[in-house]
Structure 1
Amino acid sequence: MKIAYCTPSLYIAGGVERVLTLKANYFADRFGHDVTIILTDGHGKQPYYHLSDKVRVINLDIGFEELWTCTFIKKVFVYLRKQRLFKRRLRAELMRLRPDITVSMLRREINFITDIKDGSMKIGEMHINKKNYRNFETEDTNIVKRCFAKFWMYGLVSKLKKLDKFVVLTDEDKKAWNGLKNMVSIPDPLSFTPSTRSDLMRKRVIAVGRYSHEKGYDLLLRAWSKVEKECPDWELAVFGMGNREPYEQLSAELGIDSSRCRLNGSTHDIEREYTASSLFVSSSRFEGFGMALVEAMACGLPVISFDGACGPRAIISHGTDGLLVPAEDANALAAAMSSLMKSPGRMNEMAGNAVRKSENYDMDMLAEKWRELFNEVCNK
């Protein structure tokens, strides 16, 4: 089977990039599919995650990243010009490749992907929940943005209806897209099989994710400023890409002990960091799924998360393999952390349950779901 994926770039250490790389490698190496990933940005930059030699990468070199530096007025004209170029180049590439299936990661190509008559079946993958799809990269909003988001969502739904299949990560989010009949939910797979598990002996809390508003590290630091006083022998380690400066400044303002609170960059060996910790905390304001939660559970860590929309509550069984606390409540997060950190017996019990829960996200099992989906759409 010949499969083409459309996504902006692969050089960023993000969740979408990680999942796409994992699936592309598996489908090419294990299923023997002919897999191509078509990019618009990051020309000349190497993929952050290891990509199989059997996976072909084509960069259309559109350079949408230029929009990040444009004024609003200029951004409109630059976007329209680049979008026309993107449409022309992607159409030409798909007509040349003639894939059986084209998968859109629901970025700019969703505006026209179903209009390209290359003979391929079109599938869309959603990696954020519906509620937060239009504001997952910004912390500010206003009435103009909200009105635009509603208008944009109306247009998006009309395009999603034209897809042969629309894939979301959770059953809860599937219900949110009421009116769409072409949907299926398939969660993200565990990105690695741990070679070892934490012995829960090191008193370290870990958080993983890029430094951005939606990951809620400001809330985590506010919670930690209380926890560090109650549990002075514990430390916090955060790992992720992005600008750490605002969080370092907030940490200083809160009087947090910098020797026990490390704000680190990203790491290529996240398994080592999980297994060197004893508790995972997610402070995200929202999550499409929560891959880091599953990774931490597979490494034998009990987990604590805000009970935001979808993601975490689809993964965590509260009180069994982790704890869910009210969304964006830093005080509740601090209380949950302190309570669990003071109860090693409870932590060990949750850790064992967490490992068993992580088995639900085994790549072999979920890859079969994708194979069934591909076969279904191709045999229509």
Structure 2
Amino acid sequence: MRALARKGKSAARRLYRGYTRRRAEKAPPPSIRQVRILLLHANGMGGTIRTVFNLASYLARDHDVEIVSILKEAEEPFFPIDPRVRFRFLDDRLNPGPDPLRAMLSKLPSRLIPKEESAYHRFNLWTDLKLARYIRSLDTGVLMATRPGLNLAMAQLALPSVITVGQEHVALRTQPEPIQALIKWRYRRFDALVTLTKADLRDYRNTLPKKPRRLARIPNAVPPMTGGLADLDAKVVVAVGRMTRIKGFHRLIAAWQTVAESHPDWTLRIYGAGPQEENLAQQVAELGLQGKVELPGPTSDVGAALEQASIFVLSSRHEGFPMTILEAMAKRMAIVSFNSPHGPKEMITDEVDGLLVKPRTNANLAAAIIRVIEDGELRRRLAANALDTARTYDVDAVGAQWDALLEELLARRDGTYVRPQTPSAPPALL
């Protein structure tokens, strides 16, 4: 029976590959006119969503752009979106309708997304079906994905005639081993893999036994924000992010107990929501920090939240490329951050446009915040340099890198690509 089952699977794979090959042969020529971006939940909150919206808005100047959201769990997007960008939702969980197939498959676990994927619990057999149908419906254009599970599905299902671009917003080293094993096997099928940091790009180059056609590092761009620059005299320290353990807000609150003892007239304000929200509120109460630590909930207007403070703190255990640092820089804020080896370490030059603190050290975090509070000249110097740094992440500068990458991928497909000539070494002096 096992031998028969193996033969059946082998035959099914041959049929699938043959069907894929025939569809690819009949597909239109390669194109970058249409760009489709796979996202878990477009109407949710989070840095990845905000950066995807920012990229989609830029690309919509010259491309037909559609954000394809696996889930719909809110009526409207939490973040503002360019009206030129279209939306498609594969699984509308607000209005599911009386579909018996959906009702049955939604109760069964996903077979397409690896169990080790952090968002595995959001997927099921119904989302597998919808996602697979959508990816297989495309025969040209560009398809991007924005998290490991979606990248792996795209690598497995996309027709060869589609230009595929995998985006990674989380460092390779933080992925579970089974995910890394799949990445090593499947990511080679991409036309391009784009990382946010040089460190992550280096990790992929060293880890992948076979590379995609193109490996590139393109950072996120500063998104548009309302209002003006931050008030550097404001006695407010701010943090922004989803309230999960990885964001380290419990460490920040613990550190603030020390800060509050020296500077009771200063306030810590943490914007966000998530599974740790109740625990953090309880921690504030247990430490007697009511009135000194505020948890106002999430905000869709990050710019307005930042400009009311003078210092921004990032307390995450690790980050890929935290948009909140860029946003704080663009608001001319003094920044204190744990020295995460990827995003913060690349974005911040210690003692120049921010302070980097040894990770997971509450006492050091408190000391760095107190230093910036007490040294007004330092606060203003860090903030001014941060604003200069933010200008290097302007949306047009970063967007031009995406334009160049897409043009290169198209040229590689249609045979017009010319590899840049490396400068020849000068002749040796005799």
Q: Which category describes the TM-score, using the shorter chain as reference length? A: 0.7 to 0.9
Hey, what does 1:45 align to over in structure 2?
75
- 1:136 corresponds to which residue? none
Report the Cα distance in structure 1 between the residues aligned to 2:267 and 2:144, rounded to whole angstroms.
42
Q: Is the 8 A contact 1:211 1:242 kept in 2?
A: yes
Q: Which of 34, 38, 43 is matched with 1:2 structurally?
A: 34
Greater gyration radius:
2
Q: Which residue number in structure 1 is paired with residue 341 of structure 2?
A: 309
1:340 counterpart SS class: helix
Change (3 A) 1:80 1:95: closer
Q: Which residue of 2 aligns with 1:324?
A: 356
Q: 2:203 aligns with which of 176, 184, 200?
A: 176
TM-superposed CA distance for 1:85, in Å, is 4.7
1:75-113 Cα offsets, whole Å, 9 max, x none, are 994223866654543454345454411101134333332
Aligned counterparts of 1:87 and 1:20: Cα–Cα separation in 2: 22
Corresponding residue for residue 110 of structure 2 = 79
* Separation in structure 2 between the aligned mates of residue 118 and residue 61 of structure 1, nearest angstrom: 26
Distance 1:131 1:94, change over 3 A: closer
Deviations 1:205-257 (A, max 9, x none): 0001011101000100110000000112211111012242100111122222x
Name which of 357, 367, 371 aligns with 1:339. 371
Q: Tell me if structure 2 keeps the 8 A contact 1:62–1:86.
A: no
- CA distance, structure 1, for counterparts of residue 340 and residue 235 of structure 2: 27
Rounded Cα–Cα distance in structure 1 between residues aligned with 2:75 and 2:106: 24
What's the counterpart of residue 394 of structure 2? 362
Q: Distance in 2 between matches of 1:75 and 1:282?
A: 37
Is the Cα–Cα contact under 8 Å of residues 90 and 127 in structure 2 kept in the other structure? yes
Aligned to 2:59: 27
8 Å contact kept, 1:7–1:40:
yes
Q: What is the distance in 2 between the residues matched to 1:201 and 1:278?
A: 6
Alpha-carbon spacing, 1:109–1:350, altered in 2? closer, same or farther (3 Å): closer
Aligned-residue Cα RMSD (Å) equals 2.2
The whole-number CA distance in structure 2 between the counterparts of 1:60 and 1:242 is: 24
Question: Using the alignment, how far apart are the partners of 1:332 and 1:56 within structure 2?
Answer: 46
Q: For residue 99 of structure 2, what is the aligned residue in structure 1?
A: none
**8 Å Cα contact 1:205/1:235 also seen in 2:** yes
> CA distance change for structure 1 residues 198 and 375 in 2, over 3 Å: closer, same or farther?
same
Structure 1 residue 61 corresponds to structure 2 residue 83: no
247, 250, 269: which one pairs with 1:215?
Answer: 247
The answer to whether 1:252 aligns with 2:293 is no
2: distance between equivalents of 1:251 and 1:222?
9
Tell me if structure 2 keeps the 8 A contact 1:100–1:378: no
Go from structure 1 to structure 2 and tell me whether the alpha carbon gap of 1:76 and 1:287 turns closer, same or farther (over 3 Å shift): farther
| Structure 1 gap segments, 5+ residues each | 67-73, 134-148
Could you say if the C-alpha distance between residues 123 and 340 of structure 1 is closer, same or farther in structure 2, counting changes exceeding 3 Å? same
Equivalent residue for 2:408? 376
2:364 is paired with a residue whose SS is helix
Contact 1:129 1:309 in 2 (8 A): no
Output the TM-score relative to the length of structure 1: 0.87
Distance, in Å, in 1 between the alignment partners of 2:255 and 2:125 is 47
Q: Percent identity?
A: 27
